[in-house]
Amino acid sequence: MAKLVIIDDETAILELMSKLCRAAGHTVFGCTTGLDGINAIRTQKPELVIVDLRIGDVNGLDLVSMCHEQFPDTAVIMVTGHGSVETAVEAMRLGAFDYLTKPFDLGDLIKTVNQALNRNNPGTQAAAMPVTTSVRSPGASKLIGHSGAVQRIFEILRRVADNDSPVLLEGEFGVGKHMVARTLHDSSRRASAPFKELQCSAMPEDALEAELFGHANGAQGIFGRATGGTVHLAEVHVLPARIQAQLNTFLDETQARRSAWNNGGSHFRLVSSTTVSLEEEAKEGRFREDLFYKLSVVPLKIPPLRERREDIKPLVDHFLKELSDRMDGRPFSMDSYAFEFLEKYSWPGNISELRNAVERACAFAENYRVKPADLPAKVTQQIEVPTTNASNGVTQLPIGSTLDDFIRGQERLFIQETLKYNNGSREKTASMLGVSIATLYRKMGLNVDRKTTA
């Protein structure tokens, strides 16, 4: 068991990290100021220091540098917010072992602590984690949903969990690509190894290169720190051309070493994700075609929330429980009318937007019960406008939908009504609409080779 110094000026987070590390058998000295932390390091000479990047009286980077120079045998883990990943990479250049971004999983904290303590003895068994979960079952993961689409994702993940094939996740912002990547890791034989995630759009090119492939001072890149585990490269389509070439070569060399060693496994499992079609990016010359094929051995598209509305209720229930646990434990509930608005809204921001809407509603809710007035205005807003083709003289516009979704919906409705008028004749419908039969089939999502109705 080791001696740890943890420095964080947020008392709640400091207590949580201290409690978890003590449960793993370590001796912990918690400090809320940088000065107290420096004194603790000098007097206790710990094996590991965990320090927040932003503490009131001392710059976390200066503390990392001090430890590296004065206590080279002491490992340092940096804790940082999402907006300061670039600075955390700088901390690793200064000698930090690794960094965690808030909010982090408790399991990730213990795994990183174990790796830091065992960095000079890679064969040493890691300390047992105090939190036990069933990681071999996708149902125990963070991916939530009852829809057929989510169940198909679960099935694909089950089939590919224990092989090393690279997986490419495609889907809009906020659909849960991170959750799918994490579910794949947690349900695989790699579950006890590190899960490392890199947002490729979060840092400039030089910092991104160092974070991927290592630092000049000898610090490992993300692939080295994820030995035996999973690396998730998010927004992989934004990689600059130079780094695409480096990654392509790196993956070739990794495969060559694997073949030379006649090893049936790989040192890491690569999962990439993107909000655009990587195949289209490759066709347009904006992404290396050979790298695209390496990343997309198992392609998986994550549908937007508006296409799987039956998942809204289990997601809302989960978020309400999360918020209840985070506060005083008293359960939140939701008015049925409020939930109807959530079901009808199009959620252009997908699960992320739903989570924010539920959290906002709970902040305004009285007596822990969410009502329609507590929801964001864009969710509840319904605008009625005059129309000439409805008996009541008004129609509702789906405020909150994207313009493209609205136009596509109206276009499809108009085509369907014109088809009815022409008794199902697609040729007559195409002629009436002033479009080619091929265009009509494309807009209807049909194969152009299919026969038309005369």
234: phi then psi, degrees, rounded to nearest 5: -90, 145
210-250, pLDDT tens digit by residue?
Answer: 889 887 666 788 998 888 899 999 999 999 999 999 999 99
d(CA 441, CA 447): 6
3-state secondary structure of 144: coil
114: phi then psi, degrees, rounded to nearest 5: -60, -40
Residue 231 near residue 192, CB atoms below 8 Å: no
Structure tokens at 214: 């290592």
What pLDDT, on the 0 to 100 scale, is given for residue 3?
A: 93
* pLDDT of 390 higher than 80: no
37-95, pLDDT tens digit by residue?
Answer: 999 999 999 999 999 887 877 888 888 888 988 998 899 998 876 545 566 667 777 78
Fold type of domain 402-444: Arc Repressor Mutant, subunit A (1.10.10)
For helices 437-444 and 426-433, the axis angle rounded to 10 degrees is 100
Residue 298 near residue 168, CB atoms below 8 Å: yes
User: pTM for the full model?
Assistant: 0.60
- Extended strands (E) in 53-139: 75-80, 98-101
Residue 9 near residue 56, CB atoms below 8 Å: yes
Q: Which range has highest mean pLDDT (56-60, 73-77, 144-148, 270-274)?
A: 270-274
* pLDDT of 193 higher than 80: yes
Fold match between domain 3-117 and domain 306-380 = no
What does the domain layout of the chain look like in residue ranges?
Answer: 3-117, 141-303, 306-380, 402-444
Residue 348 near residue 374, CB atoms below 8 Å: no
Average pLDDT, the chain: 82
Structure tokens at 396: 């509702």
Please determine, looking at this structure, whether the domain spanning 306-380 carries the CATH number 1.10.8.60: yes
Bridge partners, 301 (sequence order): 170
Fold type of domain 3-117: Rossmann fold (3.40.50)
Q: Which of 80, 111, 107 is nearest to 96 (CA)?
A: 80
Architecture of domain 141-303: 3-Layer(aba) Sandwich (3.40)
Q: What angle do CA 26, 28, 29 make, to 5 degrees?
A: 165
